[in-house]
Chains A and B, each alone.
Chain A
């Protein structure tokens, strides 16, 4: 697996075209991925679903960035746009300093090898009529690996993800959820990517199996120097795996922080509510100070002007400015960014 490591050492150069918002954090280290989306990522015929709307996302090599937020807030859309599985309507995505949104298909295919995705649903994402060898071998075939080498490579991959070699000729329905997720991981790793997007890789799994997969992903990161974008709505899981966390609300990132900082002191009111709402073993039995948000998230179809959290915001500071002016993501230093007028003092 030495190749995987060698590939990673390609430096993130350039980045000169990065928007100002990213300069401080974005350029001082190597970055395998630098993404910037302008307006409206996602156009629909009649109305626009602003699934992801003006998001800046930087992931440094070797780190794990967690992306959290409620169902439908645009996490998967963002992930797929980064990999160009969706074509964003505007903006830019840079991988190792190189703009990829306008790359011609042939070059994009070559790049795909470096960027892989593990899907949310281990049941739906595997073709039921293919054997493990065919499933895991497919990306290898696409990359032009000779036929006679494929079986050997697949066996190697099965060993890495902890599946017995005897399972290579089985079909997906013969596996449990956790095992299927391992097949998905083996497939994603087949082409030795540098950057892996894990879209809710453990959400469909039981806790005892979840822990197996989390540990596996961590081990693979150490072994192969992988960089992860880890998407989930489970904050316990995300706090466990991530170095930094981005909190999304309705197509926007509303807070960025190092993991410890976020849990020590959530700044955005949405983050505060989110953290307080999670039932945990440690906070057992007590009816603690829970922030109960009123209502449900508004839809990303024609989102409100001003702060998107305005309707549900409980801060006593909130006022007309919040309703009318969309708060920018303000850099507070030390890796912390927040999009809230009250926190940023722009009321």
Chain B
């Protein structure tokens, strides 16, 4: 569902990321994993984030969840979620948001699910924690408040029923039985569904999906994508979908953000991006994908390799691989500029890329 432009422009964004910078302070130097990223996400919209491995996609999502761990740190910017800046929230406030209005599906379900707990327990736990607002927080006062007012919590039985219902919704057959299974007893696709069930347990407003299908086979991927599409239509959840698969983006997203070396280099509505890519990196990415069943379409690789994030070239980060780069590109960093409604590009040669765009 493409959001109508009118609404997109008028509505308040659900998420408004402004000049976000997340850096890692390592022995080898400062890794600028996310370096000045700005974008908006509107209600009911699905925005895809693409880019090569290590370009900062996951760290952008982790920053929004405030789950960046040492030696990483958000060093600047704002993350306005429903008008409030997440960067300034306390850990306690964040915990209340995560899994309530804000949920994330991680790339590898095995590392996020607890291997020694049955999946039913994990889902009910998460339902109960969030239904019981912040009182799961440890400490004497949390305990006292739970003691004085037990009504805020939902019962084990209720949580169990809701969990079974969720598993059914994500298409797990015999959900009652599956509640008693351990994660390792499930296939990759099923575990990913459990993750989605947990993420949906609390009806999030915003879902961050980090490569939710990358580890899965295509037929299972199709099941999961169908499921997410369904949820999006039924509940109007906004989704930030991180992937490196342009195919997935093409079938699922309304808008696309292309990242390179910690920065957004292009951003546009889906059709505009595919028909009229204007950043040389986006053009290169599209040209390097083989076309299904079409041998005559020759792939054209992007030369060279991604630069190390702690040792970026001066000027445009893509200049070391760019076919159009000149001396100026190697010196001055290009700014993200709007070249058409909703189409932003960070490239000095954007006037020269239009013609090449067609053949690319």
B148 within 8 Å of A by Cβ?
no
Q: Chain A binding site: helix, strand, loop or mixed by DSSP?
A: helix
CA distance A293 to B222 in the complex (A): 9
CA distance A293 to B251 in the complex (A): 18
Distance in angstroms from B266 CB to nearest chain A CB is 15
B44 within 8 Å of A by Cβ?
no
Provide the A198-228 mask, 1 if CB < 8 A to any CB of B, else 0. Answer: 0000000011111110110000000000000
Q: How many A-B residue pairs have CB under 8 A?
A: 138
CA distance A177 to B226 in the complex (A): 32
Complex contact B247–A279 (CB within 8 A):
yes
Provide the A147-185 mask, 1 if CB < 8 A to any CB of B, else 0. Answer: 000000000000000000000000000001111000000
CA distance A283 to B246 in the complex (A): 11
Provide the B259-296 mask, 1 if CB < 8 A to any CB of A, else 0. Answer: 00000000000110010000000001111111111110
Chain B residues contacting A206 (CB-CB under 8 Å) are 52-53, 244, 306
Complex contact B219–A215 (CB within 8 A):
no
Chain B residues contacting A214 (CB-CB under 8 Å) are 290, 299
| Total number of A residues with any Cβ neighbor in B under 8 Å | 47
Complex contact A277–B271 (CB within 8 A):
no
Chain B residues contacting A282 (CB-CB under 8 Å) are 291-292
Distance in angstroms from B84 CB to nearest chain A CB is 33
Known contacts: A277-B218, A277-B221. The answer to whether A240 contacts B299 by CB under 8 A is: yes
Complex contact B189–A259 (CB within 8 A):
no
What is the chain A residue whose CB lies nearest that of B52?
Answer: A206
A345 within 8 Å of B by Cβ?
no
B190 within 8 Å of A by Cβ?
yes
B245 within 8 Å of A by Cβ?
yes
What is the chain B residue whose CB lies nearest that of A293?
Answer: B219
Chain B residues contacting A283 (CB-CB under 8 Å) are 250-251
Complex contact A176–B271 (CB within 8 A):
no
Complex partner residue of A296 from B190, B293, B300, B301, CB under 8 angstroms:
B190
In A254-288, the 8 Å CB interface with B consists of: 259-260, 262-264, 273-287
What is the chain B residue whose CB lies nearest that of A295?
Answer: B173
Complex contact B299–A215 (CB within 8 A):
yes
B229 within 8 Å of A by Cβ?
yes
* Stretch from A6-14, A109-117, A230-238, A332-340 that touches the partner: A230-238
B94 within 8 Å of A by Cβ?
no
Complex contact A177–B53 (CB within 8 A):
yes
Provide the B212-224 mask, 1 if CB < 8 A to any CB of A, else 0. Answer: 0000011111110
Complex contact A236–B271 (CB within 8 A):
no
Complex contact A279–B245 (CB within 8 A):
yes
Chain A residues contacting B250 (CB-CB under 8 Å) are 279-281, 283-285
B350 within 8 Å of A by Cβ?
no
What is the chain A residue whose CB lies nearest that of B289?
Answer: A207
Chain B residues contacting A318 (CB-CB under 8 Å) are none
Complex partner residue of A292 from B190, B222, B248, B301, CB under 8 angstroms:
B222
Complex contact A233–B292 (CB within 8 A):
no
CA distance A274 to B221 in the complex (A): 11
B147 within 8 Å of A by Cβ?
no
Complex contact A208–B285 (CB within 8 A):
yes
Distance in angstroms from B291 CB to nearest chain A CB is 7
B181 within 8 Å of A by Cβ?
no
A141 within 8 Å of B by Cβ?
no
A71 within 8 Å of B by Cβ?
yes
CA distance A177 to B306 in the complex (A): 11
Name A's B-contacting residues (CB within 8 A).
Answer: 70-71, 176-179, 206-212, 214-215, 233, 235-237, 239-240, 259-260, 262-264, 273-287, 290, 292-293, 295-297
9 A-B residue pairs with Cβ-Cβ distance under 8 Å, sorted by A, are A207-B288, A209-B301, A233-B218, A236-B247, A236-B291, A278-B247, A279-B221, A279-B222, A285-B251
Nearest 5 pairs between A and B by C-beta?
A263-B293, A211-B301, A284-B250, A211-B288, A279-B247
